[in-house]
Amino acid sequence: MNENRIIQRIKDGDKSAFEELFKLYENKIYNLALKWTGDPQDALDVSQEVFLRVYRYLPGFKNQSSFGTWIYRIAINVCRDAYSKNRDETLSLDGEEEFETQIPDVRYSPENEFEKRQIKEVLKEAILSLDDAHKAVVIMRDINGLSYEEIAQALEINTGTVRSRLARAREKLRKKLAENGNFFEAGKSNNSEETHDKEGKRS
């Protein structure tokens, strides 16, 4: 596996291999951090810290878990240490209130670029409002594309927990989106319901 060869080179003392390894994960870690913190500068700080730790500890990395699992675990730890939602409970309440007033009730069709962006904004806020445990699984699965097994290893939980947690996280997001704007009503993927707007057109 390409990645393992790079890691072996690093352990043999070839420091230039670090750069290659970093490139494989930079975007993923940055995206995870961005979805977690909601802020590009914070995401950058997190990313730098993650790769710094990889740089420090990789020579001693024992390969008990895969490297991917290890770096994601570091990333979640750095995020939690610095940007934990659970630290301040009132934060989550405030977040929800803010959320409700900010989102206008709009009818839209996803084809519209502007509205697509709005949906994404709504979704970003919704993710930020999740607590750490639910946030972690959704981001790792739906943003980073990790398997249940990989998520389980990184978070040191079992796959059954990953599955139920993911379901609950998605349910929370779904509810938020359903409440705030008719995100789903207008969706072409919704075949159980057809809605008609004022002009009588099918949406």
Partner 1 sequence: MNCEKYAEYISALTDGELSSAERRELAEHIKECPDCEKRLDQIKALKETLSDMRAETPYDLHELIMEGVKKENAKRRAGIRKRIFGLCAAACLVFAFALVLAPNFSKLYLFGVKGEKSASEAPAMIEESTEADVAFDDAAVFSENASFDTDSLKSEAATAEYALPAAGAAPSAAGSDSGGTETTEKARSYMDGEFSNYIAFYGNAEIPDRFGDKETDYDPVNNRTYIYVANEDYKDAVAAISAAGFVLVDFDFPEPAQDAPRSLILICGDN
Q: Which residues bind partner 1 (CB under 8 A)?
A: 11-13, 15, 18-19, 22-23, 26-27, 30-31, 34-35, 40, 44, 47-49, 51-53, 55-57, 59-62, 77, 81, 119-120, 123-124, 138, 141-143, 145, 148, 163-164, 166-168, 170-171, 173-174, 177-178, 183-184, 187, 189-193
Q: Kindly state the smallest distance separating residue 188's Cβ from partner 1, in Å.
A: 9
Q: Hey, what amino acid is at 96?
A: E
Nearer to partner 1, 81 or 89 (CB): 81
Q: Kindly state the smallest distance separating residue 184's Cβ from partner 1, in Å.
A: 5
Q: Kindly state the smallest distance separating residue 76's Cβ from partner 1, in Å.
A: 13
Nearest to 44 by CA among 56, 54, 30, 57: 30
Nearer to partner 1, 56 or 90 (CB): 56
Q: Kindly state the smallest distance separating residue 36's Cβ from partner 1, in Å.
A: 13
Six token digits for residue 37: 């913190």
Distance CA(49)–CA(183), nearest Å, equals 36
Q: Do 185 and 111 touch, CB atoms closer than 8 A?
A: no
Distance CA(186)–CA(203), nearest Å, equals 5
Distance CA(59)–CA(77), nearest Å, equals 20
